[in-house]
Structure 1
Amino acid sequence: MYKNDRLNLILDILKRRKTISMQELQALTFSSNSTLRRDVITLEQDNKVIRKYGQVELVKSKNVEFPYQFRNQEHETEKIAIANMATDFIGDNMALFLDSSSSVSKLIPYLEQKRNLIVVTNGLFTAVALNQYSNVKTFLTGGRLRTGSGSVLGGFALDYLNKFTADIAFISCSSVDGEGIYMSSAEQSNIKQKMQNSAKQTILLCDSSKVGHRNYYKLCELSGISALITDKEPGADLVAQLKANDVELLY
């Protein structure tokens, strides 16, 4: 079994059990003691699990920003479907803000079909992927690269964004409910807010696993976005609040 498959298997087990002994986890994963130990160390370094007293515990996702490689694999089918719907908002000759989220990065393959786009992003992996398209003029913010996240953050990045305006800002979030849109990182929120304030409209891409929850840091009210694109119909409360704030809902 490949390493990523083993890591995902461990996480799937922990999502059901929350806490499990190393001995039992070894039996369920059919791994050697040394292989399991290395895999658990990898997950611990990525803030996915905690090791203590011969047990492994799943880190609660609230208020934790996980590395890009994990975020990019989670709910990938749903994110691709969401990105496909989002392309209907993009026309030729547009300027776009793309945040560094894995959800927004799924838009990239669809941009090849458009002509003469300008994209400004704080996403390192997003900028690298866009580099292959001659129809897209890509601008990457300066600033501090947060380890593992692929995100360029901080004052330099905010100052750089001051130089641009855009037709659309495409952003994602940690969670959304009827009271607003949330993030687990103030630094990430600052970048997204700057993009929102400098764009004619903001479109939120958010898979259904993030709907109906909240984090400690509020990115904005629902009125701060023009549209929410997700993969399933949200609960009645959120639907009603989106309608009250004149936010278009697509799923």
Structure 2
Amino acid sequence: MYQEERMEAILDYLREHRRVEVREICELYQVSRDTARRDLVRMEELGWLVRTRGGAILPTLHKDVGVYKTRLQTSSSEKKMIGQAAAGLIRDGHYLFLDTSTTVLTLAEQMTGCNNVIVTNSIDIADRLTDKESVQVYLLGGQLEREHRYLCGSATLAQLSEYYADTLFLGACGITADGLTYPHDEDGAVKREMIRRADRVIVLADHTKFGKRMFYKVASLDDVDIVVTDRAPEEDMLQLLERHGVELIIVREDEQHD
């Protein structure tokens, strides 16, 4: 087995078991301890893992998310399922905050309610809602972040401070015991203010976001009322959500055709 193949196999093992020891690499792939250590050194250089005493773990801090337009194409069926289920939680006449998430964008596309008022800092969500005559849209001003297509900064926060909402729908880049985390603090500051000014907070997140930690913490689990996802997280996360009083709604593909 070439080093590249062995490194891929080690990474698959880490994804399943979260931790690997040098002795396990030696036993699994019939290599020496020096070879196993060289593999781990190379994988750490590539940012695939973090070496520990006697082995390695997966990184817990994820540095970034993809470009917005690329994320729109990723796991689109899961996003649409989650968005459709979340749209069913919207009540006619309610005032809503919608954040910049691509999953929240699918919710906006599938909204069928009447007389809703929407406040958002996402230029794409505002654009998608222009065809919905029963919806009134407030697009927050501020500095345009071109890559991820949202408005942010002091002007955004100042304008947001004038509004309140019945419900906030927001995506999540990372959900751990520490709460909700995101890669960009300027966008995170807007989300944090939306959370403060909403009566109900609903998080839309596919299963890959559980156990992932990003740079900037926006909220604790106590701030969240509902999580809508496509697959149940691991047992320890289920217990955490229950302990913090978070309702979990799991949407499965077969349910979309009932």
Normalising to structure 2: TM-score of the pair?
0.72
**Residue 130 of structure 1 pairs with residue 95 of structure 2:** no
**Residue 102 of structure 1 pairs with residue 102 of structure 2:** yes
8 Å Cα contact 1:180-1:222 kept in structure 2: yes
Deviation string 1:23-51 (CA, Å, 9 cap, x unpaired) is: xxxxxxxxxxxxxxxxxxxxxxxxxxxxx
> Pairwise CA RMSD of aligned residues?
1.9
2:233 paired residue number: 234
8 Å Cα contact 1:178-1:237 kept in structure 2: no
Deviation at 1:179, TM superposition (A): 2.6
Q: Counterpart amino acid of 2:243? A: A
Equivalence map 1:27-176=2 (5 Å): 62-111=62-111, 113-176=112-175
Question: How far apart in 1 are the matches of 2:107 and 2:64?
Answer: 24
Equivalence map 1:182-201=2 (5 Å): 182-201=181-200
Q: Structure 1 vs Structure 2: percent identity of aligned residues?
A: 28
> Which residues of structure 1 form unaligned runs of 5+?
1-15, 18-56
Q: Counterpart amino acid of 2:148? A: S
Q: Larger Cα Rg: Structure 1 or Structure 2?
A: 2
Deviation at 1:225, TM superposition (A): 0.7
SS at match of 2:137: strand
SS at match of 1:138: strand
Question: How far apart in 1 are the matches of 2:200 and 2:150?
Answer: 22
Question: How far apart in 1 are the matches of 2:74 and 2:128?
Answer: 19
Deviation string 1:16-75 (CA, Å, 9 cap, x unpaired) is: 69xxxxxxxxxxxxxxxxxxxxxxxxxxxxxxxxxxxxxxx7999922243210111111
2:13 paired residue number: none
Deviation at 1:148, TM superposition (A): 2.0
Question: How far apart in 1 are the matches of 2:65 and 2:155?
Answer: 21
Size of the aligned set, in residue pairs, is 196
Equivalence map 1:179-218=2 (5 Å): 179-218=178-217
Deviation string 1:191-232 (CA, Å, 9 cap, x unpaired) is: 101111111011000111111111122111101110111100
8 Å Cα contact 2:62-2:212 kept in structure 1: no
Question: How far apart in 2 are the matches of 1:135 and 1:58?
Answer: 48
SS at match of 1:71: helix
8 Å Cα contact 2:81-2:230 kept in structure 1: yes
